[in-house]
Amino acid sequence: MATLNILWRSIKWRFQNPISILLTIIQPLIWLILYSAIAGQSMQSISRGNYTSFILPGIMVLVTLACCSSSGYINFIMKSKGSFYRILIAPIKRSSIVLGQTLEAVCISLIESAIMLVLSIFLSVHISTGFVGLIMMLPLIFITAFFMSGLCFAISLILPNEIIYETIMNLIVLSLFFASTALFPMKNISGGLKFAIMINPFTHIINSLRALILGTSIDWQNLLLVMSLFILLCFGSFALALWKLESETVK
């Protein structure tokens, strides 16, 4: 029940400040429409005639990263209002606090990804693996958001103010986005950059989402491998966030 209360409190804050939702989706939407239109003609050979379908997975991940990044502001706002410390001294499990705020970012990420999918229909995007492929995209977005939101929660407790937080998170999000296969295929990349892209976990999420959109069948073995990797990362980021929250209690 405590987790649901924290979740509802965070969601209520988000919808009381709809600009936070709007801003996280406007930039990716611009990328989806303008970049696909500009670069689409030269990239048709790798996107089976529709470059928008090719970059859509990367844009969905970008939306998720931006949404989770913005969720870290909740801690700074609660600290400025004093409610952060009131929650800490309340008889609530620390895991419920972390889980509630983490699930808020997950819910918003799923909503915004759904919006991107609906908008992509008007850009002639077709999910080749059908309804099953569409359903399997949900857990991929879920674990991506859960991992990133836990990481953002921990980072927001490490950094002293929201200005530094915004700077650091912009650097992290953009680095993860561009050091991936979001915009270009792996086969055209070599050397150290290829290694950096390969060790970027979001590369594999993007590739899995892309396979569900462009592929004719589902590679269950690879899909389960990627999901297993991110489930481990989710546990790691949650543990880190919980540890940082516990350290706030000690202060």
Domain that holds residue 42: 2-250
- Whether pLDDT at 251 is above 60: no
Name, of 4-13, 39-48, 51-60, 198-207, the range with top average pLDDT.
198-207
- Least trusted range by pLDDT, from 23-27, 138-142, 219-223: 23-27
Number of domains within the chain: 1
Tell if the pTM clears 0.85, that is, is over it: yes
- Least trusted range by pLDDT, from 1-5, 24-28, 228-232: 24-28
- Whether pLDDT at 164 is above 80: yes
Q: What share of the chain is helix, strand, coil (3-state, %, to 5)?
A: 85, 0, 15
Q: Check if the beta carbon of residue 100 is closer than 8 Å to that of residue 150.
A: no
Query: Residue 74's closest CA among 83, 65, 63?
Result: 83
- Which residue pairs from 9-17 have beta carbons closer than 8 angstroms and sit at least 24 positions apart in sequence? 9/100, 10/71, 10/74, 10/100, 10/101, 10/104, 11/104, 11/107, 11/108, 13/74, 13/77, 14/104, 14/108
